[in-house]
Structure 1
Amino acid sequence: MRRKYPHVGVSTLCGLFGKTRNAFYDHQRRPTAQALLDGLVLALVAAIRQDLPHLGTRKLYFLLLPQLGEHAPRVGRDYLFALLASHGLLLRRRKRRVVTTHTCLPLFWRPNLIEHLVVSRAEQVWVSDITMCACSAAGAT
């Protein structure tokens, strides 16, 4: 509106829309101030992530609080998450897989020692099941 009507004052134009002059100038300054704050936060994040590349956003937030100083009330945890997400800097969560079976291929197959034995009485042959193989017990996977 200001460009279309350069001869009309700012207060008159703002009055038409029910706004104050201060709101008009604040609206002009806000994107610049927000861009500066975003750039500052992203620069600090890049510096920290250079040393600790796998540091999560929550811990990163607590490391940034002392460095931001007076800007800290404007930078909250959710703001930091949104900023990092918009720039593609969020880390993917690592899915942990629980290993429930340890198979040792060399030790997996065992010969049948009683294949040709003829069982003639009770308790002549005992059978057992070993659920953990020797290589997983020794620490090799």
Structure 2
Amino acid sequence: NFYQKKAWLPTVSEIKKANKNFSIKDICRLLGYTPQAYHQKIKHTLIRQVNEDLIIQQVHLFRKEQPRCGSRKLLIMLHPFFIKCSISIGRDHFFELLAKNKLLVRKTKRSVHTTNSKHHFRRYPNLIKDFVPLKAHELWVSDITYIPLKNRFAYLFLITDPTAERSLAFM
């Protein structure tokens, strides 16, 4: 069949609306389907829509208690509900349903963890605490920082002379 299989149901409805003289039976036979297939498809579509609405309601209930609960975990948690209501839905269809209704949990933006002072390694004393430099090049201080780029972070390492107020080196 050259045309999409899913497009025949709305086609039958549109032809019936446009031309009242044709029966559903005639239109279905013209398109190569039985009237029984037409009515079964309508019933199946209606049941699917009701099931999707039930699933969305249940997802909203779970998300009230656990707003960051992921889709796979939700699918597992909803499994007893699916069995009780005789709903059959696969993982991919469930994900598509959540995406269509904007219910997928967005990934949190990854932040950069810079200084970790709570470690078991040796901590060195602050040697410049009471030191006052009198001229240039008596004291150099260095620091490392992250610069956010489009898809990643870059390191910036600076060596500065506080008395000269300019960078001596950077990488």
Q: Normalization by structure 1: what TM-score?
A: 0.64
Q: 1:8 to 1:102 in 2, by over 3 A?
A: closer
Q: For residue 7 of structure 2, what is the aligned residue in structure 1? A: none
Give the counterpart of 1:110 among 124, 129, 134: 129
Equivalence map 1:1-141=2 (5 Å): 1-69=15-83, 70-71=86-87, 73=88, 75-102=89-116, 110-112=129-131
Q: 1:67 to 1:110 in 2, by over 3 A?
A: same
Deviation of 1:92 (Å): 0.8
| Structure with more of its chain in helix, by fraction | 1
Q: 1:4 to 1:88 in 2, by over 3 A?
A: closer
| Structure with more of its chain in strand, by fraction | 2
- Which secondary structure state, in structure 1, belongs to the residue aligned with residue 16 of structure 2? coil
- Which secondary structure state, in structure 2, belongs to the residue aligned with residue 60 of structure 1? helix
Q: 1:13 to 1:108 in 2, by over 3 A?
A: farther
Separation in structure 1 between the aligned mates of residue 129 and residue 35 of structure 2, nearest angstrom: 88
Separation in structure 2 between the aligned mates of residue 10 and residue 68 of structure 1, nearest angstrom: 34
List gaps (5 residues or longer) in structure 2. Answer: 1-14, 118-125, 135-171
- Which secondary structure state, in structure 2, belongs to the residue aligned with residue 110 of structure 1? coil
Q: Normalization by structure 2: what TM-score?
A: 0.54
Q: Greater relative contact order (Cα 8 A, min sep 6): structure 1 or 2? A: 1
Q: 1:17 to 1:54 in 2, by over 3 A?
A: same
Q: 1:109 to 1:30 in 2, by over 3 A?
A: farther
Separation in structure 2 between the aligned mates of residue 89 and residue 100 of structure 1, nearest angstrom: 33
